[in-house]
Protein backbone atom coordinates (compact mmCIF):
# COMPACT_ATOMS: atom_id res chain seq x y z
CA UNK A 1 0.00 0.00 0.00
CA UNK A 2 1.45 3.37 -0.90
CA UNK A 3 1.72 6.29 1.44
CA UNK A 4 -1.17 8.34 0.11
CA UNK A 5 -3.56 5.46 0.46
CA UNK A 6 -2.32 4.88 3.98
CA UNK A 7 -2.92 8.50 4.93
CA UNK A 8 -6.34 8.33 3.29
CA UNK A 9 -7.29 5.28 5.33
CA UNK A 10 -6.15 6.87 8.58
CA UNK A 11 -8.16 10.02 7.88
CA UNK A 12 -11.19 7.96 6.92
CA UNK A 13 -10.86 5.96 10.13
CA UNK A 14 -10.66 9.07 12.29
CA UNK A 15 -13.62 10.55 10.45
CA UNK A 16 -15.72 7.45 11.07
CA UNK A 17 -14.83 7.50 14.76
CA UNK A 18 -15.53 11.22 15.03
CA UNK A 19 -18.77 11.26 13.05
CA UNK A 20 -21.19 10.85 15.98
CA UNK A 21 -19.28 13.55 17.87
CA UNK A 22 -19.74 15.96 14.98
CA UNK A 23 -23.41 15.09 14.62
CA UNK A 24 -24.08 15.02 18.30
CA UNK A 25 -27.87 15.16 18.53
CA UNK A 26 -29.62 11.94 19.46
CA UNK A 27 -31.61 12.16 16.27
CA UNK A 28 -28.53 12.46 14.04
CA UNK A 29 -26.87 9.61 15.87
CA UNK A 30 -29.95 7.51 15.45
CA UNK A 31 -29.78 8.10 11.70
CA UNK A 32 -26.13 7.09 11.72
CA UNK A 33 -26.91 3.85 13.54
CA UNK A 34 -29.81 2.99 11.32
CA UNK A 35 -27.75 3.64 8.18
CA UNK A 36 -25.15 1.36 9.75
CA UNK A 37 -27.72 -1.41 10.09
CA UNK A 38 -28.79 -0.89 6.49
CA UNK A 39 -25.14 -1.04 5.51
CA UNK A 40 -24.90 -4.51 7.04
CA UNK A 41 -27.93 -5.64 5.12
CA UNK A 42 -26.68 -4.16 1.84
CA UNK A 43 -23.21 -5.63 2.16
CA UNK A 44 -24.81 -9.06 2.35
CA UNK A 45 -27.13 -8.42 -0.58
CA UNK A 46 -24.29 -7.08 -2.71
CA UNK A 47 -22.47 -10.41 -2.68
CA UNK A 48 -25.23 -12.12 -4.60
CA UNK A 49 -26.67 -9.20 -6.54
CA UNK A 50 -23.49 -7.26 -7.23
CA UNK A 51 -20.92 -9.98 -7.65
CA UNK A 52 -22.68 -13.08 -8.95
CA UNK A 53 -25.32 -11.04 -10.78
CA UNK A 54 -28.27 -13.08 -9.43
CA UNK A 55 -31.27 -11.25 -8.04
CA UNK A 56 -32.50 -12.48 -4.66
CA UNK A 57 -35.70 -10.45 -4.57
CA UNK A 58 -36.78 -11.63 -1.19
CA UNK A 59 -33.39 -11.08 0.40
CA UNK A 60 -34.61 -9.05 3.42
CA UNK A 61 -36.35 -12.22 4.58
CA UNK A 62 -33.02 -13.18 6.13
CA UNK A 63 -33.01 -9.89 7.98
CA UNK A 64 -36.44 -10.75 9.35
CA UNK A 65 -35.43 -14.32 10.17
CA UNK A 66 -32.40 -13.06 12.06
CA UNK A 67 -34.43 -10.50 13.98
CA UNK A 68 -37.09 -13.04 14.90
CA UNK A 69 -34.49 -15.65 15.85
CA UNK A 70 -33.09 -13.46 18.55
CA UNK A 71 -36.52 -12.06 19.53
CA UNK A 72 -38.04 -15.52 19.94
CA UNK A 73 -34.88 -16.80 21.58
CA UNK A 74 -35.15 -14.01 24.13
CA UNK A 75 -38.89 -14.46 24.71
CA UNK A 76 -38.95 -18.23 25.09
CA UNK A 77 -35.42 -19.14 26.10
CA UNK A 78 -34.10 -15.97 27.66
CA UNK A 79 -31.13 -15.68 25.33
CA UNK A 80 -29.28 -12.39 24.91
CA UNK A 81 -27.81 -10.34 22.08
CA UNK A 82 -24.57 -12.30 21.93
CA UNK A 83 -26.39 -15.62 21.53
CA UNK A 84 -28.46 -14.02 18.80
CA UNK A 85 -25.36 -12.76 17.07
CA UNK A 86 -24.36 -16.42 16.53
CA UNK A 87 -27.77 -18.04 16.18
CA UNK A 88 -29.30 -15.53 13.75
CA UNK A 89 -26.69 -15.90 10.98
CA UNK A 90 -26.60 -19.68 11.44
CA UNK A 91 -30.35 -19.99 11.01
CA UNK A 92 -30.43 -17.51 8.13
CA UNK A 93 -27.58 -19.39 6.49
CA UNK A 94 -29.41 -22.71 6.78
CA UNK A 95 -32.52 -21.25 5.17
CA UNK A 96 -30.37 -19.60 2.52
CA UNK A 97 -28.93 -22.99 1.67
CA UNK A 98 -32.34 -24.65 1.55
CA UNK A 99 -33.74 -22.00 -0.79
CA UNK A 100 -30.65 -21.74 -2.93
CA UNK A 101 -30.24 -25.47 -3.39
CA UNK A 102 -33.12 -25.98 -5.82
CA UNK A 103 -33.31 -22.48 -7.30
CA UNK A 104 -29.69 -21.60 -7.98
CA UNK A 105 -29.36 -24.59 -10.30
CA UNK A 106 -31.74 -22.94 -12.73
CA UNK A 107 -30.99 -20.00 -14.95
CA UNK A 108 -33.45 -17.25 -15.51
CA UNK A 109 -35.91 -15.66 -13.11
CA UNK A 110 -36.52 -18.74 -10.94
CA UNK A 111 -34.10 -17.75 -8.24
CA UNK A 112 -35.59 -14.26 -7.96
CA UNK A 113 -39.10 -15.68 -7.78
CA UNK A 114 -38.30 -18.43 -5.31
CA UNK A 115 -36.64 -16.04 -2.88
CA UNK A 116 -39.59 -13.66 -3.19
CA UNK A 117 -42.05 -16.47 -2.58
CA UNK A 118 -40.09 -17.58 0.44
CA UNK A 119 -40.19 -14.05 1.85
CA UNK A 120 -43.93 -14.03 1.28
CA UNK A 121 -44.37 -17.36 3.11
CA UNK A 122 -42.28 -16.24 6.06
CA UNK A 123 -44.27 -13.00 6.16
CA UNK A 124 -47.54 -14.97 6.26
CA UNK A 125 -46.28 -17.19 9.05
CA UNK A 126 -45.03 -14.28 11.12
CA UNK A 127 -48.35 -12.51 10.68
CA UNK A 128 -50.63 -15.44 11.34
CA UNK A 129 -48.97 -17.70 13.86
CA UNK A 130 -50.11 -15.33 16.54
CA UNK A 131 -49.62 -17.67 19.50
CA UNK A 132 -45.92 -17.96 18.68
CA UNK A 133 -44.95 -14.70 16.99
CA UNK A 134 -47.68 -12.36 18.29
CA UNK A 135 -48.59 -11.70 14.65
CA UNK A 136 -48.62 -8.15 13.41
CA UNK A 137 -48.18 -6.77 16.90
CA UNK A 138 -44.60 -7.94 16.79
CA UNK A 139 -42.40 -8.88 19.73
CA UNK A 140 -41.48 -5.94 21.95
CA UNK A 141 -39.16 -5.61 24.89
CA UNK A 142 -36.02 -7.06 23.39
CA UNK A 143 -33.27 -5.86 25.71
CA UNK A 144 -30.18 -3.87 24.82
CA UNK A 145 -26.93 -5.83 24.73
CA UNK A 146 -24.79 -5.89 27.82
CA UNK A 147 -21.22 -6.73 28.52
CA UNK A 148 -20.95 -7.97 32.05
CA UNK A 149 -17.90 -9.34 33.79
CA UNK A 150 -18.81 -9.54 37.48
CA UNK A 151 -16.88 -7.07 39.59
CA UNK A 152 -15.15 -5.55 36.57
CA UNK A 153 -17.39 -4.39 33.77
CA UNK A 154 -21.09 -3.71 33.59
CA UNK A 155 -21.70 -2.04 30.29
CA UNK A 156 -25.03 -1.63 28.54
CA UNK A 157 -25.49 -0.46 24.96
CA UNK A 158 -28.27 1.88 25.88
CA UNK A 159 -27.35 5.06 24.01
CA UNK A 160 -27.07 5.88 20.33
CA UNK A 161 -23.40 6.74 20.75
CA UNK A 162 -22.49 3.32 22.13
CA UNK A 163 -24.59 1.66 19.43
CA UNK A 164 -22.82 3.65 16.79
CA UNK A 165 -19.46 2.17 17.68
CA UNK A 166 -20.89 -1.33 18.01
CA UNK A 167 -22.52 -1.15 14.58
CA UNK A 168 -19.44 0.48 13.06
CA UNK A 169 -17.33 -2.40 14.38
CA UNK A 170 -19.65 -4.98 12.82
CA UNK A 171 -19.64 -3.02 9.55
CA UNK A 172 -15.86 -3.08 9.59
CA UNK A 173 -15.96 -6.83 10.16
CA UNK A 174 -18.35 -7.31 7.22
CA UNK A 175 -16.20 -5.14 4.99
CA UNK A 176 -13.07 -7.10 5.84
CA UNK A 177 -14.81 -10.38 5.08
CA UNK A 178 -16.16 -9.02 1.80
CA UNK A 179 -12.80 -7.62 0.83
CA UNK A 180 -11.00 -10.88 1.49
CA UNK A 181 -13.51 -12.86 -0.51
CA UNK A 182 -13.79 -10.42 -3.37
CA UNK A 183 -10.06 -10.01 -3.83
CA UNK A 184 -9.43 -13.70 -4.22
CA UNK A 185 -10.18 -16.42 -6.69
CA UNK A 186 -13.61 -16.61 -5.08
CA UNK A 187 -14.43 -13.05 -6.11
CA UNK A 188 -13.10 -13.76 -9.57
CA UNK A 189 -15.39 -16.75 -9.87
CA UNK A 190 -18.36 -14.63 -8.76
CA UNK A 191 -17.63 -11.93 -11.30
CA UNK A 192 -17.14 -14.56 -13.98
CA UNK A 193 -20.64 -15.88 -13.27
CA UNK A 194 -22.10 -12.39 -13.50
CA UNK A 195 -20.31 -11.61 -16.73
CA UNK A 196 -20.69 -14.86 -18.62
CA UNK A 197 -21.98 -17.92 -16.84
CA UNK A 198 -21.49 -20.32 -19.75
CA UNK A 199 -17.90 -19.36 -20.30
CA UNK A 200 -17.21 -19.55 -16.58
CA UNK A 201 -18.54 -23.09 -16.54
CA UNK A 202 -16.55 -23.96 -19.66
CA UNK A 203 -13.25 -23.02 -18.02
CA UNK A 204 -14.03 -25.05 -14.92
CA UNK A 205 -15.82 -22.71 -12.53
CA UNK A 206 -18.34 -24.72 -10.50
CA UNK A 207 -20.94 -21.99 -10.94
CA UNK A 208 -23.58 -23.53 -8.70
CA UNK A 209 -21.18 -23.90 -5.80
CA UNK A 210 -19.96 -20.31 -5.97
CA UNK A 211 -23.41 -18.83 -6.42
CA UNK A 212 -24.47 -20.83 -3.40
CA UNK A 213 -21.57 -19.58 -1.36
CA UNK A 214 -22.27 -15.93 -2.18
CA UNK A 215 -25.93 -16.41 -1.34
CA UNK A 216 -25.39 -18.25 1.93
CA UNK A 217 -22.71 -15.84 3.17
CA UNK A 218 -25.02 -12.97 2.18
CA UNK A 219 -27.94 -14.61 4.00
CA UNK A 220 -25.83 -14.98 7.13
CA UNK A 221 -24.88 -11.33 6.93
CA UNK A 222 -28.55 -10.41 6.59
CA UNK A 223 -29.40 -12.61 9.57
CA UNK A 224 -26.81 -10.98 11.76
CA UNK A 225 -28.02 -7.55 10.67
CA UNK A 226 -31.51 -8.60 11.77
CA UNK A 227 -30.21 -9.50 15.22
CA UNK A 228 -28.56 -6.10 15.53
CA UNK A 229 -31.78 -4.43 14.43
CA UNK A 230 -33.88 -6.31 16.97
CA UNK A 231 -31.72 -5.33 19.91
CA UNK A 232 -31.36 -1.73 18.78
CA UNK A 233 -35.03 -1.02 18.15
CA UNK A 234 -36.08 -3.39 20.95
CA UNK A 235 -38.97 -4.63 18.81
CA UNK A 236 -39.47 -6.81 15.76
CA UNK A 237 -42.50 -7.00 13.50
CA UNK A 238 -43.44 -8.80 10.27
CA UNK A 239 -42.71 -5.60 8.33
CA UNK A 240 -39.08 -6.65 8.37
CA UNK A 241 -39.66 -9.14 5.56
CA UNK A 242 -42.03 -6.86 3.66
CA UNK A 243 -41.76 -4.72 0.57
CA UNK A 244 -40.34 -1.66 2.29
CA UNK A 245 -37.09 -3.44 3.04
CA UNK A 246 -36.96 -5.09 -0.37
CA UNK A 247 -37.26 -1.83 -2.29
CA UNK A 248 -35.02 0.11 0.06
CA UNK A 249 -32.14 -2.35 0.14
CA UNK A 250 -32.23 -2.91 -3.60
CA UNK A 251 -32.27 0.83 -4.25
CA UNK A 252 -29.36 1.30 -1.86
CA UNK A 253 -27.20 -1.33 -3.53
CA UNK A 254 -28.08 -0.22 -7.05
CA UNK A 255 -27.56 3.49 -6.43
CA UNK A 256 -24.50 2.87 -4.30
CA UNK A 257 -22.85 0.70 -6.89
CA UNK A 258 -23.38 -3.00 -7.51
CA UNK A 259 -20.36 -5.21 -7.36
CA UNK A 260 -18.14 -2.69 -5.62
CA UNK A 261 -16.81 -2.98 -2.11
CA UNK A 262 -17.93 0.39 -0.77
CA UNK A 263 -20.92 1.05 -3.04
CA UNK A 264 -23.47 -0.50 -0.67
CA UNK A 265 -22.08 1.54 2.21
CA UNK A 266 -22.53 4.78 0.27
CA UNK A 267 -25.99 3.74 -0.86
CA UNK A 268 -27.10 2.81 2.63
CA UNK A 269 -25.91 6.10 4.13
CA UNK A 270 -27.42 8.18 1.34
CA UNK A 271 -30.75 6.42 1.40
CA UNK A 272 -31.11 6.69 5.15
CA UNK A 273 -30.01 10.30 5.38
CA UNK A 274 -31.73 11.80 2.33
CA UNK A 275 -35.31 10.75 3.19
CA UNK A 276 -34.75 12.27 6.64
CA UNK A 277 -33.71 15.58 5.11
CA UNK A 278 -36.65 15.43 2.75
CA UNK A 279 -39.02 15.30 5.70
CA UNK A 280 -39.15 19.09 5.36
CA UNK A 281 -40.85 18.57 2.00
CA UNK A 282 -43.65 16.69 3.78
CA UNK A 283 -46.05 15.12 1.31
CA UNK A 284 -43.69 15.61 -1.62
CA UNK A 285 -41.09 13.53 0.16
CA UNK A 286 -41.69 10.18 -1.49
CA UNK A 287 -42.15 11.79 -4.88
CA UNK A 288 -38.82 13.61 -4.60
CA UNK A 289 -37.25 10.41 -3.38
CA UNK A 290 -38.53 8.58 -6.44
CA UNK A 291 -37.20 11.27 -8.74
CA UNK A 292 -33.76 11.11 -7.15
CA UNK A 293 -33.74 7.35 -7.61
CA UNK A 294 -34.71 7.57 -11.27
CA UNK A 295 -32.08 10.19 -11.98
CA UNK A 296 -29.55 8.09 -10.16
CA UNK A 297 -30.26 5.03 -12.27
CA UNK A 298 -30.18 7.00 -15.51
CA UNK A 299 -27.09 9.09 -14.86
CA UNK A 300 -25.11 6.79 -12.62
CA UNK A 301 -25.49 3.29 -14.03
CA UNK A 302 -22.41 2.29 -12.06
CA UNK A 303 -23.81 3.86 -8.92
CA UNK A 304 -22.21 6.39 -6.60
CA UNK A 305 -19.07 4.36 -6.37
CA UNK A 306 -18.72 4.41 -10.13
CA UNK A 307 -19.28 8.15 -10.15
CA UNK A 308 -16.49 8.68 -7.63
CA UNK A 309 -14.07 6.46 -9.57
CA UNK A 310 -15.02 8.39 -12.66
CA UNK A 311 -14.29 11.76 -11.09
CA UNK A 312 -11.04 10.51 -9.63
CA UNK A 313 -10.01 9.25 -13.03
CA UNK A 314 -10.55 12.67 -14.56
CA UNK A 315 -8.53 14.53 -11.97
CA UNK A 316 -4.94 15.24 -12.98
CA UNK A 317 -2.70 12.59 -11.52
CA UNK A 318 -0.23 13.58 -8.87
CA UNK A 319 2.93 11.58 -8.44
Partner 1 sequence: MALLGVENISKLFGGVAALHDVNFAVAQGEIVGLIGPNGAGKTTLFNVVTGFIKPSRGRILYEDRVISELAPYEVASLGIIRTYQKTSIFPALTVAQNIAIGHHRRGQPGFWSVLFRTRPHREERAETNGRIQEILKFLEMTWAADFLAQNLSYGDQRKLEIAIALSSQPKLLLLDEPAAGLNPEETTGLMRVIKRVQDQGITILLVEHHMQLVMGICEKIVVLNYGKKIAEGTPGQVQNNEEVIKVYLGEEVEDATSC
Query: Is 157 within 8 Å of 166 (Cβ atoms)?
Result: yes
Task: Tell me how far apart the terminal alpha carbons of the chain are, to the nearest angstrom.
Answer: 15
Part in contact with partner 1 (CB under 8 A); list of ranges 139-147, 160-168, 192-200, 224-232: 192-200
To partner 1, the closest distance from the beta carbon of 220 in angstroms equals 13
91 by Cβ neighbours in 10 Å (0-12 / 13-18 / 19+) ranks as buried
- 149: part of which helix (H) or strand (E)? strand 146-149
CA 181 → CA 185, 213, 248, 256, 261, distances in Å?
Answer: 8, 11, 25, 20, 11
Alpha-carbon distance 32 to 81, whole Å? 20
How many residues at the interface with partner 1, by CB under 8 A? 22
The alpha carbons of the chain give a radius of gyration, in whole angstroms, of 20
C-beta closer to partner 1: residue 80 or 309: 309
Q: Mask 140-179, x = binds partner 1 (CB under 8 A)?
A: -------------------------------------x--
Assess 198 for contact with partner 1 (CB under 8 A): yes
Sign of CA dihedral 176, 182, 184, 189: positive
Three-state DSSP at 255 gives helix
Q: How far is the CB of 265 from partner 1 (least distance, A)?
A: 20
Residues 77, 152, 202, 311: which binds partner 1 (CB under 8 A)? Answer: 202
Under the criterion CB under 8 A, does residue 186 sit at the interface with partner 1? yes
**Residue 5 or residue 279: which is nearer to partner 1 going by CB?**
5
Decide whether 72 or 171 has the Cβ nearer to partner 1.
171
Query: Is residue 106 close enough to count as binding partner 1 by CB under 8 A?
Result: no
SS3 235: strand
Is residue 307 near partner 1 by the rule CB under 8 A?
A: no
108 contributes a contact to partner 1 by CB under 8 A: no
Given 47, 200, 220, 227, the residue binding partner 1 (CB under 8 A): 200
Interaction site with partner 1 (CB under 8 A): 177, 180-181, 184-186, 188-189, 191-192, 195-196, 198-207
Amino acid sequence: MNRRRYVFHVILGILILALPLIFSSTYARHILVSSGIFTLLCLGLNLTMGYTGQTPFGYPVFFGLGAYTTAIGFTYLGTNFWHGLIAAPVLAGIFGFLIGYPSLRLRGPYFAIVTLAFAEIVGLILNNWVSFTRGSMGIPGIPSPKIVIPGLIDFTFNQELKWYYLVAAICAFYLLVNRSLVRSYVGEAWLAIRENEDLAEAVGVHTFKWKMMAFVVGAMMGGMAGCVYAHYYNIVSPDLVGFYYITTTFAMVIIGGRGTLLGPVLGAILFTAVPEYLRAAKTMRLVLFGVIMLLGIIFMPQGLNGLITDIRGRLPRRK
